[in-house]
Every structure is written in structure tokens, then in C-alpha cells.
Amino acid sequence: QPLLSILYHDNLNHQLLHQTAYTQPALFAVEYALAQMWLSWGIKPDVVVGHSLGEYVAATLAGVFTLPEALKLVAHRGRLMQQLPPNGEMHAVMASAQRIQTLLNNSNLATEIAIAAVNAPQAVVISGTTSALESFIKALREQGIKSKQLQVSHGFHSPLMEPMLAEFRELASQINYKTPKIELISNLTGEVVDTEITSEQYWCNHICQAVQFAPAIATLAEKGYELFVEIGVKPVLLGMARQCLPDYQAKWLPSLGLGKQDWQQILETLGELYVAGVEVDWASVEADYPHQRVPLPTYAFQRHSYWLDPIPVKQQQLTPSSFAKIHPLLDRQLNSPLLRETLFESYLSIDSLPFLADHKIYDQVVVPGAFHLSLLLGAAALTFNNPRCSLEQVLFPKILVISESEGSLVQLGIIPDENQNQGDFQLISLDNNSTQSNSSWKVHGTGRIVSHSKASDSELSQIAIAEVKSRCGQLITGKQLYTNLSQREIHLGSTFRWIQSVWKGEGELLCQMQTPQSLTDISSYQIHPTLIDSCFQMLVAMLAHDLEETVIPFSIEQFQFFEPPTSSQLWCYARQRANSKEKTKEIIADIELFDHQNQLIAKITGFQGKKIDRQVLQQSLQPDLSNWLYQVNWQPQALTAGKKALLSEQAGNWLIFADRSGLGLKLAQSFQNKGYQTLTVMPGESYQKLDSQSYIINPAQPEDFRQLLQEIQGHKLPLQGVVHLWSLDSETEAISNLESLEKAQILSCGSTLHLVQALNQTAIVEEFRLWLVTRGTQAIETVSTPIQLQHSTLSGLAPVIALEHPQLQCSTLDFSLEREVDETETILQELLNPGVEDKIAYRNGSRLVARLVSSSSSKSTSAITVDSNSTYLITGGLGSLGMLLAKSLVQQGAKHLVLLSRRQPNCALESSLAQLEAKAAKITVLQADVADYSQLEQVFQQIQSTLPPLRGIIHAAGVLDDAMLTQLSWQRFTKVLSPKVAGSWNLHTLSAQLPLDFFVCFSSAAALVGSLGQGNYAAANAFLNGLAHYRQSLGLPGISLNWGPWAETGMATRLGKQHQARLQQQGLTPITPQQGLQVFQELLQSNQACLGILPVNWSKFAQKFPPGTQTPFFSQLIYKIVQATPKKQGAAQEKQILGQLQAATVDNYDRILLDYIADIVLKVLGLDRSQLQVNQPLDSMGLDSLMSAELKNRLSSNLEVDIPMVSFIQGVTVVDLVTQIKQLLGDVNIAESLVENPTKITDDSAELLQNLEQLSDEEVEKLLNSMVS
């Protein structure tokens, strides 16, 4: 029958659509039509991927076969499948493909059951005979694995389809296949497919083999695609793709959706594509529909306020718009009988004084010394009520640099002498980002002001212009002078360009000046700053032609002001003092400024300018960033009996992951001797229960951990704590190769990850604590003391566990390799006397605790310089950060760089590389995976045979795959570990015998302070920190730089805007490329192994700690941290809400709880009250997995209930949370008056099983039936 009669059926035909012979052509037709609609509007895909039958549509769009050929294949495919005997079933299963395949291999059913589709990391579809599936599903149920039977007629994508293959092959062989014209991701491999798809064998395999949807989505993510449009009748694939990439920053856009009119959904997606930058052919969109103009707006006002943010207090009183200035350069004068001096204040910024933007040195806005002189003249007139004055003994101690986006607060203090006509002055500034402490103020000018009696007659200059011209034979045009200044990196805009011509003679200069047209009002000034600066500019003409030097004002003996200029034509004369000609490092000159009638405007006696080279000048402009540097300091602290020492009669079970050396068994015996119950677990190949208290599990199998904890939950006593000792097993083994390193990671990090995931689903007591015990992983003693490198990743993972799962109270305990204490008794005492410390170590018999402290970064005894005859290697060299470092090294003199990357440079990178090579640098781009030893070995061999000696390595390679720990598989974890752990170890191994000057690892602050959703990244970077210490213990160079987020480049820019905004809300200011390079160049000289670089506002950082996650690790930086158990910190707010609830009546209980939860939700989301609807899903308002964790931690801590993470699944509303939390608090049901129809929270397993957000079971089944057939 025709498709139209099937799609738009009468009662007789409504069942035909559910027969696969009709379903498949109908689906193809709808999807192909939708695709053509998007194409007709100019929306062209860069890559296509389909799911099962959808791959036929994708292949047609890619040009593999024509539309008639595709319809022929699809129609016959559906007909042949319909004719097969209905002896099969399909089931959706909530487990990984690896686990299901392992279970199938261990059963006798592998020949009758196959994996039909891998839809998500924990969602597969299996297909097979009815009898075999019945037995297998029963076995899955016994292991706690959920499944759901799909209402299908056959077992698609399985060997049951083989009887139709011969006839289908005959038809498929008649097709004229072509290579895809658009990049196409294969269902069979999950990778890009090329000529393989142009054969009948591919399409026969397509019928029987599994749909690799999850790997296909992973491939798209690796390629960086961020716009996904689903071509289908409902957004099924988008739901599954989100599960594959839960924290991936992308737009997931449906063509058609549930609960919306078709055109509404289509146009919403079209709008999203346009906003994302996709070019739309609007004429084609509108071609078939009439239009008319309508008045705007057509919507109701939402009554939101969009005022500018309030100005900070210190700026509020200083910005020019808030008051009338007393002088163009002075905002206000502060008068008080308590002040001895006269005090002036100004807030200098480009907004208030635009001409400052015309004075740049090395692309930075520098306030010239001439500005200070002009400001002083204005202040002197106001102070002494006399415009005529002189400035004496003027000194310019420090250059004032201001940001183009912000400004600086400037204060001028004038302390009058007993003679009220003169006094000393000091000009100081406060950076806009600084706190108003005394150390934050910088001095920019000192000297004396002397007020002179008013003169009735003007004073005349004795300079004879014609006579001077006759002596000065060299003429320099203004254009030539400003070009000369620009070549010295002094860039002056139009307002600073007064000079027309300069006549140069032997030790003297004559300059003709004219007021720039861009200066419109100079009458309010005694002398405009740009005019004074022009008097100093001409002195550059006294320098030799060597562009490496320039001159900057240093001091002035006397600056006499006579009267403001009245003419636009001015002259300036400068004579170099005879004794200064012999001095190579300075110029001393006397200067006169006068008009065309020789009337003196100003006379400068004893101007001293310092000659400095370009590099010194550039360094002098750089801000002091030393307060960004931090390091871990270990401080002695004796163990005291805790306020809540654990009593055996109150305690639960202790679970000990015992090492093979016997420490774990000794600890268990000691516990038992004190009356505690213990369970021990040893690592092995498979799950075994040896007896009621002893188990063996596989560290690499998360199912073993879940099974273990499920079984433990059956014990009478709850789980009191866990002691993880498995990291001690490989402490005596050196890292022999990558395989041994990977095994060590599984034993430590891998097992800890799986343990945390299992604990998240386990009931624990309130005082539960997770202890991670290591030996020799912390670098505490002398540089020469070796560390146990392979388990250093745990020190990065632990703080992330503490942030994401504060209820586990994760703590680390590190012993010395020399075993100087009774470790069994020491662990026992730490466990039975819990305190706030969560980073503890024992060395030389003493107990130490970790603190993050400011670092001064001591320098190496031998300076490190970049050598033009050496080679430097940068991994991640084609990334934005790698290219930035390459440019910096070339600027420092490097002539041979090797940039290592896994990819080839694109056109933009080729252009950047060409710019570097234009500076006489040889740039070698090599393609290799730093984690692959053989590939990296070839790189080192090539460097050795073709380039100068390798003298420096910068390891900046890395990847991100952010997710909460509960969502991370070990595969995703190792994906991030690989370039950092294996990559850095390979670099160390291959360079260990080379005489390197530096070996720099680019690490992350996440390894020091933790970061929500970055457990894998924090662990990986902690290894880099350990490697730097390890190398130094071997006498090799090594430093690991734990960077905070960079602006414009680096890993942080790969985060979504929401995540980047959250970092700034936490007090972390992004590091600009210029600042980062400055720190990098300075720290190349450091002899420390590990430093944190964190531009952080600690008070703001402390406020953003979720309650229950604060740690004494920051106590020396955050002084008000509460010294109590982590579980109970920040009690004021939680006690307040709990008290309010306890005192509430039935009538107002619901409203109090609702208001409180809504308030916390608003704080986490960063919204205001008017934007929150209690029945609106929180994910539609921006709630992501990181925010979900923060929300869970805040509510769980404040309300003293353990709220399961399942409560924060996609689609949850404020009312859902209130309902769930009310039940956990043990109170009566929510009053019906709260909402009319409160949404009930459902099991997240069911949500995941259906892969969709808003579908009924019937709709899901119908859709899955059509997809997998």
C-alpha cells in the first residue's frame, strides 16, 4: 500500500504501520524528508551518523547510493525481515557492553544471544531466541541488573537475521555504490568509514551486527563537534547521546519533539542553529508562506531588571560620573582636622581620561611621568591658591601601568612645612584588584612643591631660535621621531603627538610643536600631560641609532611653571649637560618650553633620564605576580584524642582493603582485639567470598565492588569506615615499563574510583570515613629523598572525592618508606580518634599535616637561558597553549623548536607557524602520541639525528573528559590519565640521560585543591607533581606548575561558559596569556619541584565551599575556617533551618521547607527569585551534573539527611525535591495546597532504560521497536 495511506491511516490501516515491512520505509521517508527540509534552508551537515535503519538515510545524504536505490534496499529489507519466523526477542539492559559480553561468554548462550546495540555506556540492547533470553534475563536479575523487554516481532541485529542475507545480498550487489562525499560515522565500528561502506558485504553485516552508537558519539566528541541535530520523529537519539557525553558542552537539537507542534519545534531548532552561528537561507525558509508586518513587541513584559552591576565601594566614590571633578586630573580633595597633609584622590582609567590610551609601551597603557607633573601642578594651585610654583627634587620610583578594562586609585599627599608656601609630596596608587593593605600601595612620585609669588610680567626665554637652528644641522621630522619611538615599542597616539620637527646639533635639540587636533580642551590644565611628555619624547633623538635602548624619566632637580600656553604653536629647547655626555647609562638635560613670542611656559632644570634596554623596560612593566604562588607545606601536629572518639559498642563494620604484605591483616586483628567487627578484601582475578569476613575482588571490575557492598549491607552492623591499603602492594617495585605503571593505577586509582561508586549506593553511618593509605608518595623531606611515584595520582583524586562525596570524609595517610613507626597502631589511633585533618603523613616518627601556603619560589643557583643552538620540545605543541609557549621561546632566542601533536596543523596553524619561522626559527612539527613509547622514541631519535641537542622539554599535552566520579568509567578515567601519566613517564625515560636545562610539566591547580567533576584530571596532574619531585631526587631538572584557569587558551577554555563563570564565582581569576608567560619565564629559574599558580580571592573561594567540604588544608589562607569535624562545619545556617522546621506548624511547615530549598537552588543556579518556577525542571534552568553535586552537598549537609544522587536526575523540580526531602525528614506528606499536582520522583534506572525524558512506556517501546529493526 502507498506510504501516505499508512502514515495517515484510517481504522483499517492503523496496525500496518507497526509491521516492519511498512515501518522501515515509513521511517526512512520521514527522516529523509526532514533532512531535505534542513538542506533546503542552507543547513548542511559536516558529518552524518545514523542508528540502525537511520544509517540508510545518512548514507543517502552522503551520496553512497541514490534515493531510488536507497528506497529499493529499505523496502526489500523490511519485507525480508517480515518473512522471518517470529522466534526472537530483544531486551534493553542497564549494564555496560563489556559486562554483558563477559557474562555471555561465561554462559552457554553466546551462540543464541548477541548484543544488538550499544546505546550508552550503561545501556545496551540484546537480541536472541526467546528461550535463551528467558534464561539469561533471569541470571541478570539475580545480579541486580535491570532489563526491559521490547515489543518487537523478531530478534533484529543478531544471527537470527542470517536466513534473509542471501536474497538481500543479491539485491545489494546491484547497487552502484560511491565513496561518501560527507564524512560518515559507521554503525559497525563507530569510526569514520570510507570505501568499506561501498560493498554489499557491509550492508549484510549491518543487518546482523551490533549498532555501535555510543562509540560513534564518542568519535564525534573527539572531533570537537558541538552542534547535533536529530533527524527523526522523536528525540530518542539525543537522549542516548547525552548519556554517552553527560558533561559534554554541546547543543542537542531535535527536528520534532513531544508535547510541541511540529513547526514550533522546527523553528526553535532553526533559531538555536542561527544563534550558534550556522548560516541560514532565510529566503528559502519563508518562500512558501505569506507574511505581514506586525507591531513589536508581541510578548508580555517579564518585568526583569537589567541594571548594571553596582560599582565597588572604592570606585563608587571615585568614578568621574558620581561627582564634579575639582581638576581634570583630580577627582576630589579630602579635608579633615585629623589629617596633617592635604590629600587628593583620583581614579585613573581610560574611560575617565581617554588620552591615556594613546600612551602604550609594549602594548600596555603606561601613565607617563609627565602626567604626574601635570597632576602636581593642578594640586599645587588648589593647595596654595597660586598657579605659579616649582616642583623640586622630583623622583619617579615606579612606573604606573593601568588595565585597559579597569583603572587604578591614585592618592596625592602634600605635607606643608611651617612655611605654608611649600611642602613635601608623595604620589601613590592602589591596583583595582588589590585589597587596601599598606603593602598594596605603590609609590610613583616624591619631591617638594614650592609656591611662588605672583609675577606681574611674563618671563621670557633667552633662546634665539634662528641661532640654534644654524647650529643644529640635522632635521628630524615628527613622523620620523614617532616611527623611531614605535620601533622602541613606545606607541603614541594622536593626543601625544605635538612634535612637528626637531633640529639636532651637538648636545642640543630644538623642537617645534603644535597642539594636536584630537585635543579639544586643554584650557583647564596648567600644562597638559601630553605636552610635558612631548618635551621628554624629543630626548630620544639624543640616543644612538641602536633601537635596543630607550630613555625614561627618573628624576628632575626643578620644574618651574610660569603660565599656561596661549598659543597652539610652541617651541622646546633641550641642552645636554656636559658631564652627562660621558655617562653611558643616563641623559641629563635642561629644558625650556616657550611660545612663538619666547614667553616661558615651563623650565626644567636637571632632567635625568635613564637609558635602559628593551628587555629591562619590558620587565619593569610587568606586574608582581609572586602573590599567585603557592606550595604544600607539611607541619608538625600531634594526634589528640578526638571529641568524638569511636566506641566499639557504637561502631559498625570496618572494611579493610588489605595489602599482601600483611599490614591489613594486622590492622584487622587489632580492631578485633578492641571489640570491632572487620571485613578484609584482597585483590584478585575474580569475585570470591572466602568466608563470612574475607573476600577477593578484581580491582578493575566495578561490579565486584557493588556486589561486595551489597553483600555487606546484609550484615547486622552498618559500614563504619573503609581503609584502603592496596597502594602499598607495589611500593617495593620500581616502574619497569608502562604496563607496570598502568597496573599500579588500576590497583590504586582504579579500585578507589570503583569503591567510591559503590559506596555512593551504600548506607553508611554519620561518622563514616574513607582512608586512603600510601607509603612514600608525598615529597616531604629533602630533595634527594625518593618518592613512590606510581601512586601519587591518589593525592589528586582524594580532594575531588571530598568535594563530590563529603559524606565519605575522604582522608589520606602517607607513611615513610623507612617504616619508622608502628604503622598498625598508628592507623588504629588515627581511625579511632577522628579529627578535621584529612591530609596526614608520618616522617621520622612525627605526625605532619598538610597546609597550602604562599610561596616565594627560591631561584636556582645557575640561571637558565634559552640557547639558539639548542632544541626545545613542546608536547601539545599545536594547541593554543603550546603555540603560545612556542612564540615565547622564539622571542627569548630559541631557533629550533619541535612541536609534538597527535594531529596535523590546519590552515590557521600553518599561518602561525610561518610567522614563527619568519623570525629565523626552525619549527619542526611531528605527529605522535606522547603516551605511545615507540612513537615518542622515534621522535627522540629524529631530534638526535637531525637537530641540535635537546635542552628543554615542556609537557603541555592533555585531554579533558569531565564528569562526576559516579559517572566515570575506568576507560574514561584512563583516557585523561594517559597523556599525563604515560606521556610524562615516557618523556622522563627517554630524556633521563640527556643534559636538559629544564623539564617543565604543565599541571593543574585541580591536583592541589580539587575540582568538582575533574577527578580524572586532578589525579593525572598529581602524577606530574610527583614526577617533578621524583626527577629532582635523581638529580635531574623537573618542575610541575599547577596552573589555575587560563583566559583565551588552555584547558579551562574548553569548559562551557557556565563552568568558566562558576570558576570566577569561586574567586578564581583567569590568567591572561601575558601573565602566564611572565610567570612561566620567572619559574624557569625556580629550584622548587611543585608550585601552584592561583590568582584567587580566598574569602570568595571559602564562601563557595559546599558545607561539609571545608578543610584545614586552606586554614592558613582562609583564617575563619571552622575547626570542627567536616560533617558539622558551617552549622549556623543548617541549625537555623532545622530549628525553623522543628518549630513549624502543619500550616507553615511546607512553605518554610519550600522557600529554603528554592533559596539554595537559586544560589547554586545563580538566578534571582523571579526566574524560578517550582514546577519547572531544574535542568531547563541550567542545572548540570556539577551543580547537581553542589546542590546535593548543600542540602544534605544543612538538613542532615543523605539525599540520594538519583533525586537530582534530569527533569527534577523544586517540588520534587521538597517531596523527597520531606519523606527523608520523616514528616507528614506535603500539603496538597503546596502545588496542585506535585511531580513524583521516579527511579533513575527506569529513566535511563527508556533513554528519554518525557515518553510513556508505550511510546518508548514503539520507538525502540522501529529503531532496532
Q: How many CB atoms are located within 10 Å of the residue 463 CB?
A: 17
In a domain, residue 845? The reply is: no
The pLDDT value given to residue 77? 94
Residues 191 and 62 in one domain: yes
In a domain, residue 152? The reply is: yes
| Of the listed ranges 442-451, 543-552, 719-728, 1205-1214, the one predicted with least confidence | 1205-1214
CATH number at residue 360: 3.10.129.10
How many whole angstroms separate alpha carbon 892 and alpha carbon 887?
9
Inform me whether the pLDDT recorded for 1261 exceeds 60.
no
b/e for 40-56, b at 16 or more Cβ within 10 A? ebebebebbbbbbbbbb
Inform me whether the pLDDT recorded for 952 exceeds 80.
yes
The three-state DSSP-derived secondary structure of 422-436 is: EEEEEEEEEECCCCC
Rounded mean pLDDT of the chain? 84
Beta-bridge partner residues of 125 = 92, 117
HSE-CB for 6 with a 13 A CA cutoff = 18
In a domain, residue 1125? The reply is: no
For the chain, give the number of residues: 1269
HSE-CB for 144 with a 13 A CA cutoff = 9
Q: Measure the N-to-C terminal CA separation of the chain; round to a whole number of Å.
A: 20
Residues 606 and 668 in one domain: no
Residues 151 and 10 in one domain: yes
In a domain, residue 296? The reply is: no
How many whole angstroms separate alpha carbon 1013 and alpha carbon 1004?
14
Cis peptide before 297 (omega within 30 of 0): yes
- Span 223-241, average pLDDT: 91
Considering 56-70, 82-96, 453-467, 535-549, the range whose residues carry the highest mean pLDDT is 56-70
Residues 668 and 611 in one domain: no
Own/partner contacts of 761-765, CB < 8 Å, gap of 24 or more, are 761/706, 761/709, 762/709, 762/712, 762/713, 762/719, 763/713, 763/718, 763/719, 764/718, 764/719, 764/720, 764/807, 764/808, 765/652, 765/718, 765/719, 765/720
The x, y and z cell numbers of residue 475, run together, are 632635521
The pLDDT value given to residue 9? 65
How many whole angstroms separate alpha carbon 267 and alpha carbon 257?
12
| Of the listed ranges 5-14, 308-317, 342-351, 785-794, the one predicted with least confidence | 308-317
Predicted TM-score of the model (pTM) = 0.60
- To 5 degrees, how large is the angle CA 730–CA 736–CA 742? 65
CATH number at residue 85: 3.40.366.10
Going by pLDDT thresholds of 50, 70 and 90, the confidence category of residue 5 is: confident
Q: Which of 1096, 1121, 1144 is the last residue of a domain?
A: 1096
How many whole angstroms separate alpha carbon 1253 and alpha carbon 1210?
7
Contact 233, 17 (CB under 8 A): no
Residues 226 and 85 in one domain: yes
Inform me whether the pLDDT recorded for 606 exceeds 70.
yes
In a domain, residue 1201? The reply is: yes
How many whole angstroms separate alpha carbon 137 and alpha carbon 134?
5
842-881: per-residue pLDDT in tens?
A: 998 899 999 999 887 666 656 788 999 999 999 999 998 9
Q: Which of 219, 249, 282 is the last residue of a domain?
A: 282
Going by pLDDT thresholds of 50, 70 and 90, the confidence category of residue 168 is: very high
The x, y and z cell numbers of residue 404, run together, are 585597559
Strand 227-230 with 251-254, pairing: parallel
349-382: per-residue pLDDT in tens?
A: 998 899 999 999 887 899 999 999 999 999 999 9
Inform me whether the pLDDT recorded for 341 exceeds 70.
yes
The x, y and z cell numbers of residue 138, run together, are 533471569
How many whole angstroms separate alpha carbon 1157 and alpha carbon 1146?
18
CATH number at residue 746: 3.40.50.720
How many whole angstroms separate alpha carbon 791 and alpha carbon 709?
24
The pLDDT value given to residue 434? 47
The single residue listed with the C-alpha cell 552537598 is 1193
The pLDDT value given to residue 1144? 82
| Of the listed ranges 274-283, 1194-1203, 1230-1239, the one predicted with least confidence | 1230-1239
Residues 14 and 57 in one domain: yes
Residues 997 and 939 in one domain: yes
Going by pLDDT thresholds of 50, 70 and 90, the confidence category of residue 1252 is: very low
The residue range of the domain holding 520 is 465-621
Nearest CA to 123 among 92, 90, 89, 145?
A: 92
810-846: per-residue pLDDT in tens?
A: 999 999 988 888 999 999 999 988 888 999 999 988 9
Number of domains in the chain: 6
Going by pLDDT thresholds of 50, 70 and 90, the confidence category of residue 1236 is: very low
For the chain, the farthest-separated pair of C-alpha atoms sits apart, in whole angstroms, at: 119
Going by pLDDT thresholds of 50, 70 and 90, the confidence category of residue 1133 is: very low
Strand 1090-1093 with 1039-1043, pairing: parallel
- Span 639-644, average pLDDT: 66
Residues 806 and 880 in one domain: no
Contact 704, 689 (CB under 8 A): no
Going by pLDDT thresholds of 50, 70 and 90, the confidence category of residue 1174 is: confident
Contact 1134, 1200 (CB under 8 A): yes
The pLDDT value given to residue 702? 94
Residues 389 and 504 in one domain: no
Inform me whether the pLDDT recorded for 1193 exceeds 90.
no
Residues 946 and 1009 in one domain: yes
In a domain, residue 1013? The reply is: yes
Residues 665 and 574 in one domain: no
How many whole angstroms separate alpha carbon 1195 and alpha carbon 142?
34
In a domain, residue 307? The reply is: no
Going by pLDDT thresholds of 50, 70 and 90, the confidence category of residue 913 is: very high
Contact 653, 720 (CB under 8 A): yes
Residues 426 and 479 in one domain: no
In a domain, residue 928? The reply is: yes
Nearest CA to 956 among 845, 880, 856?
A: 880
The pLDDT value given to residue 301? 59
Using DSSP, state whether 105 is helix, strand or coil: helix
Q: In whole angstroms, how large is the CA radius of gyration of the chain?
A: 37
Inform me whether the pLDDT recorded for 685 exceeds 60.
yes
The pLDDT value given to residue 642? 54
| Of the listed ranges 313-317, 465-469, 471-475, the one predicted with least confidence | 313-317
How many whole angstroms separate alpha carbon 696 and alpha carbon 682?
5
- Span 373-400, average pLDDT: 92
CATH number at residue 1192: 1.10.1200.10
- Span 1219-1227, average pLDDT: 79
- Span 666-690, average pLDDT: 93
Nearest CA to 928 among 895, 893, 891, 900?
A: 900
Contact 145, 97 (CB under 8 A): no
How many whole angstroms separate alpha carbon 882 and alpha carbon 1082?
18
The pLDDT value given to residue 54? 94
